[in-house]
Amino acid sequence: MARTIVIKLLGQWIAFNALVNKVHMLCKPKQSFQLMDLENDYYLVKFQDEYYHSKVLKQ
């Protein structure tokens, strides 16, 4: 199963590193994740563990 989430930022712009910190704060993953800047305020988050993928979707 895919463990990827597409994020669309709404409203105020946020720096890439601030977004990484926000994802860390929300799910506190024990394994690393990848965050990729697409374009037009879209980001792709890839988790290594299904648990954290589900945890973020439920918040």
Boundaries of domain holding 50: 4-58
- What pLDDT is recorded for position 33? 85
Structure confidence at residue 7 (pLDDT):
86
In this predicted model, what pLDDT tens digit does every residue of 6-52 receive, in sequence order? Answer: 989 888 888 999 988 988 887 777 778 889 999 888 999 888 878 77
How many domains does the chain fold into?
Answer: 1
The pTM of this model reads 0.73
pLDDT over 60 at 1, yes or no: no
- Computed over every residue of the chain, the mean pLDDT equals 84
> Up-side HSE of residue 39: CA atoms within 13 Å toward CB?
0
- Give per-residue burial for 4-37: e unless 16+ CB within 10 Å, then b: ebebeeeeeeeeeeebeeebeeebebeeebebee
